[in-house]
């Protein structure tokens, strides 16, 4: 028996990197199920697994080590089953662009709420800053300041010009980092730009639209030449939450969590209760209305909003 880490999962085959650094194609033997969690993928990228060689080249996964954490999303339109994006990650980097393509606050907030739920530090990477006009940069910075104020680290970068990439390298070094964000925000391009040893496939937006699919089609973990790993993932459209109690949602907004004890009612859900410290903070601007709006959408399960068409920044 050997131990390894799942680097890639393509349906029924998994690339497992063994401790001596070789990659073995593995299948799963029988049923591997985690208690409680109904997922479309029993084994995810980042999972530490036990495997046995079956023949010279291929192996069989016989068990998974307990996960330190995992980040999960619910398929928005399909089966609504949970999909584990990755397991055992140190941090989640969300790439955000306000154009080409447009990323909405509701999407960012859903992602952050999920990361909070699994206690995974999240960083917002504003990529493609080379394509913004001065006025658009102002809008971008206003948007970023909302998250900065809450306590999230925000970086402005350009995978194209190289701006900000040294900071990204420092952030990634010796950690396992998940790269997430809509299709076309530049996840694979950024990975290639920080580590010239990586040769991930990228494509212009128009191309990937024409192809009707994402350029990156499977999550894959890549070792970085300067230490650590990045997990490049296919772009996601919507981000459905999994298994949340309604009363837990506000706790996933750090700025609401900090004020909740000031609400008159201990079971306040910050919707229409009187003397609600959260609503008061929204009214006087200490909590951003976009964040509160995202909270309400989550609270009322209004998922369609993730993909609406109008541009709230214009
Ligand atoms: N101008 C500019 N273009 C960029 C930047 N980063 C990426 N791009 C371009 O954006 C397009 C999409 O980049 P990808 O890296 O394929 O995007 P992705 O997020 O990996 O997309 P999926 O794999 O479909 O999820 C490509 O044409 C890149 O060249 C940037 O900082 N500035
Ligand atoms: Mg990609
Ligand atoms: Zn309240």
Tens-digit pLDDT profile for residues 112-125: 998 999 899 999 99
Same domain? For 154 and 275 the reply is no
User: Would you say residue 265 lies in a domain?
Assistant: yes
Residue 205 predicted with pLDDT over 80: no
Burial of 222 (0-12, 13-18, 19+ CB in 10 A): buried
Terminal Cα distance for the chain, rounded: 58
Whether 273 and 128 share a structural domain = no
What residue numbers bound the domain in which 31 lies? 2-64
Domain co-membership, 58 together with 74: no
Paired with 3 in beta bridges are 50
Whether residues 174 and 225 fall in one domain: yes
Domain boundary among 232, 259, 279: 232
| Alpha carbon of 135 to ligand 3 centroid (Å) | 36
Residue 179 beta carbon below 6 angstroms from any ligand 1 atom? no
Domain boundary among 64, 81, 102: 64
Tell whether 159 and 15 lie within a shared domain.
no
Name the CA dihedral angle for 165, 171, 172, 173, rounded to a multiple of 10 degrees. 110
Which ligand neighbours the alpha carbon of 237 most closely?
1
Q: What is the pLDDT of residues 38-88, one digit of tens each?
A: 677 889 999 999 999 999 899 999 999 999 998 887 765 555 677 888 999
Q: Which of the four pLDDT bands, split at 50, 70 and 90, describes residue 245?
A: confident
Which pTM value belongs to this model? 0.91
Q: What is the CATH number of the domain that holds 124?
A: 3.40.50.300
Number of compact structural domains in the chain: 3
The pLDDT-based confidence of 307 (bands split at 50, 70, 90) is: very low
Position 223 in a domain = yes
296 — pLDDT class (breaks 50, 70, 90)? very high
Give domain status of residue 238, yes or no: no
CA of 47 to the centre of ligand 3 (A): 39
């Amino acid at each position: 028996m050997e131990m390894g880490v799942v680097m890639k999962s393509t349906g029924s085959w998994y690339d497992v990197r063994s401790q001596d650094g070789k990659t073995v194609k593995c299948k799963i033997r029988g049923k591997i199920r985690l208690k409680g969690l109904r997922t479309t993928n029993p084994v995810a990228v980042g999972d530490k697994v036990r495997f046995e060689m079956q023949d010279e080249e291929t192996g069989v996964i016989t068990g998974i080590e307990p996960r330190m954490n995992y980040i999960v999303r619910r398929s928005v339109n399909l089966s609504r089953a949970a999909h584990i994006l990755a397991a055992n990650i140190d941090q989640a980097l969300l790439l955000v662009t306000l154009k080409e393509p447009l990323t909405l606050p509701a999407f960012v907030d859903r992602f952050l709420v999920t990361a909070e739920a699994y206690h995974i530090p999240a960083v917002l990477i504003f990529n493609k800053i080379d394509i913004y006009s001065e006025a658009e940069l102002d809008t971008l910075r206003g948007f970023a300041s909302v998250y900065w104020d809450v306590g999230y680290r925000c970086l402005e970068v350009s995978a194209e010009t190289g701006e900000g990439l040294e900071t990204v390298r420092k952030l990634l070094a010796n950690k396992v980092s998940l790269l997430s964000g809509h299709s076309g925000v530049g996840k694979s391009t950024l990975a290639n730009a920080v580590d010239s040893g990586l040769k991930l496939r990228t494509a212009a937006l128009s191309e990937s639209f024409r192809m009707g699919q994402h350029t990156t089609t499977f999550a894959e973990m890549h070792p970085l030449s300067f230490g650590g790993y990045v997990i490049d993932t296919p772009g996601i459209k919507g981000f459905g939450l999994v298994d949340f109690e309604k009363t837990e949602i506000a706790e996933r907004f750090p700025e609401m969590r900090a004020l909740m004890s000031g609400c008159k009612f201990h079971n306040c859900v910050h919707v229409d209760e009187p003397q609600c410290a959260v609503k008061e903070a929204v009214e006087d601007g200490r909590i951003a209305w976009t964040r509160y709006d995202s909270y309400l959408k989550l609270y009322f399960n209004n998922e369609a909003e993730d993909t609406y068409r109008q541009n709230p920044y214009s």
